[in-house]
Structure 1
Amino acid sequence: MSDFAAIVLAAGKGTRMKSDLHKVLHPIAGRAMLDHLLASVAELEPARSVVVVGDKAEQIEAAVKGRADCCLQEPQLGTGHAVQQAEAALAGFDGDVLILYGDVPFVRPETMRRMLDRLHEADAPPCVVLAFRAADPGAYGRVISEDGRTIAKMVEFKDATAAERAVDLCNSGMMAVRAQDLFALLRRIGNDNAAGEYYLPDIVMTALGDGRASAWVEADEAEVQGINSRAELARAEAQWQAARRAEAMADGATLVAPETVFFAFDTRLGRDVTVEPNVVFGPGVSVADGATIHAFSHIVGATIGADCSVGPFARLRPGAVMEKGSKVGNFVEMKKAVLGEGAKASHLTYLGDAIVGEHANIGAGTITCNYDGYFKYKTEIGPRAFIGSNSSLIAPVKIGADAIVAAGSAVSRDVGDGDLRMVRGEQIVKPGWADRFHDAMKKKKAAAKDKG
Structure 2
Amino acid sequence: MNASEFFALPPSLASFAAHFPPDVAPWEWLKRIGPALAALTEVPATVTVPPGVQVEGKVWLHPSVKLPAYATLIGPAWIGAKTEIRPGAFIRGNVIIGEGCVIGNACEFKNCLLMDGVQVPHFSYVGDSILGNNAHLGAGVICSNLRLDQKPVTVRANGKTYETGLRKFGAILGDAAEVGCNSVLNPGAILGRRALVAPTSAFSGYLPPENVAYCRSQAKILPRRA
What corresponds to 1:304 in structure 2?
79
Q: Go from structure 1 to structure 2 and tell me whether the alpha carbon gap of 1:274 and 1:419 turns closer, same or farther (over 3 Å shift).
A: farther
- Alignment match of 1:289 (pick from 43, 63, 66): 63
The answer (yes or no) to whether the contact 1:314–1:332 under 8 Å persists in 2 is yes
Pick from 322, 337, 352 the counterpart of residue 127 of structure 2: 352
Contiguous gaps of at least 5 residues in structure 1: 1-267, 427-452
Match of 2:214 among 422, 425, 428: 422
Do 1:269 and 1:289's aligned partners in 2 also have CA atoms closer than 8 Å? no
Structure 1 residues 132-175: Cα deviation after superposition (integer angstroms, max 9, x where no partner): xxxxxxxxxxxxxxxxxxxxxxxxxxxxxxxxxxxxxxxxxxxx
**Shift, 1:339, TM fit:** 1.2
1:231-262 per-position Cα deviation (integer Å, ceiling 9, x unaligned) = xxxxxxxxxxxxxxxxxxxxxxxxxxxxxxxx
Which residue pairs with 1:275 in the alignment? 49
Q: C-alpha displacement at 1:286, in angstroms?
A: 0.9
Contact map agreement 1:323 1:342 (CA 8 A) in 2: yes
What are the superposed Cα offsets for residues 73-98 of structure 1, whole Å, 9 maximum, x if unpaired? xxxxxxxxxxxxxxxxxxxxxxxxxx
Question: Which structure dedicates a bigger proportion of its chain to strand?
Answer: 2
Give the C-alpha shift of residue 425 in structure 1: 6.0
Secondary structure, aligned partner of 2:122: strand
How far apart, CA to CA, are the structure 1 residues paired with 2:198 and 2:210? Answer: 13
SS across alignment from 2:113: strand
Residue from 152, 155, 172 that aligns with 1:380: 172
- Rate the CA distance shift 1:347–1:274 in 2: closer, same or farther, 3 A: farther
Q: Find the partner of 2:118 among 321, 336, 343.
A: 343
Cα offsets for 1:400-445 (capped at 9, x unmatched)? 111111000100121110100011269xxxxxxxxxxxxxxxxxxx
Would the aligned equivalents of 2:170 and 2:186 in 1 still touch at CA under 8 Å? no
Amino acid at match of 2:212: L
Structure 2 letter corresponding to 1:286: W
Structure number with the higher helix fraction is 1
Task: From the CA coordinates, give the structure whose radius of gyration is larger.
Answer: 1
Matches within 5 A, 1:381-420: 381-420=173-212
Specify which of 332, 353, 365 is matched with residue 107 of structure 2.
Answer: 332
Work out whether residues 317 and 334 of structure 1, in 8 Å CA contact, stay in contact via their aligned partners in 2: yes
1:274 positional shift: 5.6
Amino acid aligned to 1:313: G
* C-alpha separation in 2, matches of 1:366 and 1:332: 10
Match of 2:139 among 353, 361, 364: 364
Report the CA distance shift for 1:396/1:372 in structure 2 as closer, same or farther (over 3 A).
same
Amino acid in the other structure paired with 1:297: A
CA contact (8 A) 1:274 1:293 kept: no
1:296 CA displacement: 1.4
Residue correspondence of structure 1 range 303-322 to structure 2 within 5 A: 303-322=78-97
Q: How does 1:45-60 map to 2 (within 5 A)?
A: none
Distance 2:63 2:69 in 1: 18
State the structure with bigger RCO (CA 8 A, min sep 6), 1 or 2.
2
Specify every segment of 5 or more residues in structure 2 that has no aligned partner in the other structure, as ranges.
1-42, 151-166, 219-226
Give the match's secondary structure for 1:358.
coil
